[in-house]
Amino acid sequence: MLSYRHAFHAGNHADVLKHLVLLELLDYYNRKDKPWYYVDTHAGGGCYALDSEQADKTAEAADGVGRLWGREDLPPAVAGYVDAVAQFNPHGRLLFYPGSPALAMTRARAQDRLRLFELHPADFESLQRTFASEQERVQVRRADGFGALKSLLPPPSRRAVVLIDPPYELKEDYRRVVDTVRDALRRFPTGTFVVWYPMLARAEARSLPERLAELGAESWLDVRLAVRKPPRDGFGMFGSGLYVINPPWVLPQRLEAALPWLAERLAVDEGAGFDLEHRIA
C-alpha cells in the first residue's frame, strides 16, 4: 500500500496533462479576489530532483516535460505550465520537477490556502520540508486523503479545487475514488473536483469515468491523452485522463487549443491521440 513513489514518474506525460489542467483551474479561480483552497488527497513529496536515483531509473520526464522544455512554439496553456516549471529551474536546465502542491503554490496569493495529505512516511517528510516556510498558508498532514477530505468540506471561502490523485496500485482505489467524490459532492456541491486516472487495459480503469458520470454532476469535463498504442499484453499505462467536476466554462476551449499540439509532441507511436468530452451547465 505504501510502495508507490511518485519520484519514479515525476514529469512524465501524465504529469504534463494533470498539471496543465490544474494551473488552468487555479488561474481561473484567481480572476476573483475571494480566497480559494487547494486540497490534495495524495500530495506526494512536493518537489523532485530529476537526477535522483528514482527519477533517473525510469527517466520518464524525458518523454514528458523534457519534450516541451526550451520550445518557443508552445500554445498558451502549455506555455503557462512550462513557465511554472521553470520557476523551479532558474538557471535554465531542467533539474527539478514540482509536484502538484508546489505548482499550486505558484498561483497561490496571500489569502489562498493549501491543505495537503500524504500517507507515505518519506514523502510526508519531504512535503513538510518543501513547505516549512509556508506554515501560515499551507497545512501538511500525514493521513489517508480519502478519509481526511470530508473534514475540510465545505471550506470557509466556499471556493476550492480538490485534486484526487491516488496511485491506483490497489483495485480498491477505484471504488474509493467514486465513494470519496460522491460524499464530497454531498458536502460541497459547488466545489471543483479533479480526478486523475490512468489509461490501462484493466476494467476498473476503463469504467472509472463512467462511474464518476453516474454521480450526476451537472457540469463535468473528461479529457484523455494517450501517448502510445495500448500494449498487446494488456500491461502498462498508455495514457491518462482527468475527470473534472464543475470545471470553469473557459476550460474546454483552452484545452481544445492545446491538446492536438500536445498529443503530437508527446507521441511515442501512432497510437497517440486525445479525447475531450464535456458538459458545462
Cell of 61: 520526464
Report strand pairing: 47-49 vs 220-226: unpaired
- Signed CA dihedral, 103, 146, 203, 1: sign only: positive
Residue type, 116: L
Is-catalytic flag, 33?
A: no
Burial class (CB in 10 A: 0-12, 13-18, 19+), 6: buried
Catalytic residue among 112, 123, 165, 173: 165
Residue type, 79: A
Report strand pairing: 138-141 vs 160-164: unpaired
The residues, ordered by sequence, that sit 6+ positions from 130 with a Cβ below 8 Å of its Cβ are: 45, 46, 47, 101, 102
Integer Cα distance of 75 and 261 in angstroms: 8
Say what angle helices 203-213 and 172-187 make with each other, to 10 degrees: 10
The residues, ordered by sequence, that sit 6+ positions from 268 with a Cβ below 8 Å of its Cβ are: 63, 227, 228
Say what angle helices 13-29 and 76-86 make with each other, to 10 degrees: 100
Q: What is the 3-state secondary structure (H, E, C) of 118-162?
A: CCCHHHHHHHHHHCHHHCCCEEEECCCHHHHHHHHCCCCCCCEEE
Are 146 and 71 a contacting pair, CB within 8 Å? Answer: no
Residue type, 111: Q
Q: Which residues are catalytic?
A: 165
